[in-house]
Amino acid sequence: MKRLLTFSFVLVVLFASAQENDETTIRKLYNTALNDQQGYKWLKVLTDIGPRMSGSKEADEAIATFQNIADSLGFETYLQKVKVPRWVRGEKEVAYYTSDGKTFQTNATALGGSVATPAEGLTAPIVEITSFDQLDSLNGELNGKIAFYNIPMDPTYISTFFAYGSAVKQRWAGAVEASKKGAIGVVIRSLSSSVNPYPHTGSMTYNGADKKIPAIAISTLDAEKLSKAYARDKNLEFFMKTSCERKDSVYSHNLIVDWKGSEKPDEIILTSGHIDSWDLGTGAHDDGAGSMHAFEVAYLLMENKLRLKRTLRIVFFMNEEFGLDGADVYAKKSKDEAVNHVIAMESDAGGFTPRGISISAPDSIMAKIKDLRGLLEPYGIHQFSRGGGGADISKIYAEDLVMIGLRPDSHRYFEVHHSARDVLANVNARELEMGSATLAALVYLLDKYDLTAR
């Protein structure tokens, strides 16, 4: 009996000290992040390069810059060639409407991928569309007119990503659908979660369209004003002028950074973000923040001498915004080379205060990952929900792969997303660093306790 008691005591002590060790280690990771703010410093380097549209020299410069930094830290790096589309905005867009002989300017931006208007611009009456059901019911009313999509993001969603998802069709497919009904141009309400004067760009498609009509977004504030003016005057005329253009595709790169594991170097734990951005801001949140989160995981582990058993791989994906080309190439090469990913993480939801993670994993592993919550709750990480990891890593999705997406607070994200407000001044260094430390802690724990499905 005495022996049994002693044995139990030893077990309890062992368990408690493992727990204490984890608590201490995790504390150190957060301390390093908050003290050094290395990710934030790197984000400044990245955003100082400027906007990083796919195919631009700034996008390539960003890749070269971070390859140099990773090399100087002693990691293995290599580039993966990716063919990307190139679209240029041209001159600043002009858009206004006239009603009762008066002119009202709007803040506008061409949508990514749009064709230009004729050189002298395009003038036509508008038809306001507030739902896709309404669009379906139109019969000839759009002939020769400009379709004005005014579908707000539903403010009642708690995660603004769902609100975005519910409204994004007007941007992505608005031109295709309107052109089928005879429209000659498209104006959409910006996908922004508040009423503000900033236009938000983003990608659009012409797939399935007989003719390509130009598309712009106006600010939510201008959309509200235009809607009111239209209610008073159904004959008001809208003018839009853009000179954007799709150029030939060019070659760019994904950047891959490896830190070889000490015991199982062939098993890959991947962290990632995308290095390309839209051009109105400098892609500080989307996805400079996520790229720095992913990269800083390596820095935080290294600074604390926590080499993983498995290989830590950071991927800076190219061209998430305009077709996921980098992710496609990475997935194809990984398949060809039989790369053994065991965990894949992505951060592409901004650099705001992290609230938790979304996880896709087999049930047995899922339960064990959820057991880690107690270790992260002191840092405000509460949400451990089922869900995808992100758009780029979705290309290497497998049922038995552990996939994790960082879930920062989303309330402000769509006020900056794809707009001139997506700049470093709108990233809080502490909030950003909390995200990096959270991913580093997770990577450390998942590797230590072998919480990999394969």
Q: How many CB atoms lie within 10 A of CB 163?
A: 20
Q: Is 415 in the site for Zn ion (CB under 5 A)?
A: no
Judged by CB, which is closer to Zn ion: 287, or 433?
287
Instruction: Give least dist CB 28 to Zn ion, A.
Output: 30
The region of 146-154, 237-245, 347-355, 403-411 touching Zn ion under the rule CB under 5 A is 347-355
Instruction: Give least dist CB 322 to Zn ion, A.
Output: 11
Judged by CB, which is closer to Zn ion: 152, or 273?
273
Binding mask 190-209 for Zn ion (x = CB under 5 A): --------------------
The region of 48-56, 340-348, 353-361, 433-441 touching Zn ion under the rule CB under 5 A is 340-348
Residue nearest to Zn ion (CB): 287
Instruction: Give least dist CB 348 to Zn ion, A.
Output: 4
Judged by CB, which is closer to Zn ion: 186, or 432?
432
**Which positions from 154 through 173 interact with Zn ion, judged by CB under 5 A?**
none
- Backbone φ, ψ for residue 79 (5° rounding): -105, 150
Instruction: Give least dist CB 298 to Zn ion, A.
Output: 21
Interhelix angle 290-303/57-72, rounded to 10 degrees, is 10
Judged by CB, which is closer to Zn ion: 308, or 416?
416
Residue from 7, 62, 128 nearest 284 by CA: 62
Q: Reduced to 3 states, what is the DSSP secondary structure of residue 317? A: strand
Annotate 114-129 with DSSP letters as a single string: PPPPPTT-EEEEEEEE
Cα 91 to Cα 110, 214, 240, 245, 279: the distances in Å are: 10, 15, 12, 10, 13
Pairing between strand 245-259 and 264-274?
unpaired
Residue from 269, 238, 273, 268 nearest 254 by CA: 273
Instruction: Give least dist CB 325 to Zn ion, A.
Output: 14
Instruction: Give least dist CB 158 to Zn ion, A.
Output: 20
Instruction: Give least dist CB 372 to Zn ion, A.
Output: 26
Rounded distance between C-alpha atoms, residue 53 and residue 274, angstroms: 11
- Backbone φ, ψ for residue 214 (5° rounding): -70, 145
Instruction: Give least dist CB 440 to Zn ion, A.
Output: 21
**C-alpha angle 185/188/191, rounded to 5°?**
155
Residue from 253, 396, 364, 413 nearest 317 by CA: 253
Judged by CB, which is closer to Zn ion: 107, or 319?
319
| Among residues 58, 93, 177, 287, the one that binds Zn ion under rule CB under 5 A | 287
The token pair that represents 274 in the structure block: 């995308």
Judged by CB, which is closer to Zn ion: 60, or 287?
287
Instruction: Give least dist CB 156 to Zn ion, A.
Output: 24
Judged by CB, which is closer to Zn ion: 146, or 324?
324
Residue from 432, 114, 444, 337 nearest 246 by CA: 114
Judged by CB, which is closer to Zn ion: 222, or 287?
287
Q: Reduced to 3 states, what is the DSSP secondary structure of residue 225? A: helix
Instruction: Give least dist CB 114 to Zn ion, A.
Output: 19
Judged by CB, which is closer to Zn ion: 286, or 415?
286
Matching residue, tokens 């001498």 = 305
Judged by CB, which is closer to Zn ion: 301, or 393?
393
Q: How many residues bind to Zn ion according to rule CB under 5 A?
A: 3
Rounded distance between C-alpha atoms, residue 90 and residue 80, angstroms: 29
The region of 164-172, 226-234, 281-289, 323-331 touching Zn ion under the rule CB under 5 A is 281-289
- 50's CB contacts (< 8 A; 6+ apart) are 58, 282
Question: Which residue type, as a one-letter code, is found at position 138?
Answer: L
| Among residues 58, 222, 267, 348, the one that binds Zn ion under rule CB under 5 A | 348
Rounded distance between C-alpha atoms, residue 285 and residue 198, angstroms: 16
Instruction: Give least dist CB 78 to Zn ion, A.
Output: 23
Judged by CB, which is closer to Zn ion: 58, or 287?
287
Rounded distance between C-alpha atoms, residue 379 and residue 356, angstroms: 10
| Among residues 276, 286, 296, 346, the one that binds Zn ion under rule CB under 5 A | 286
Rule CB under 5 A: which residues touch Zn ion? 286-287, 348
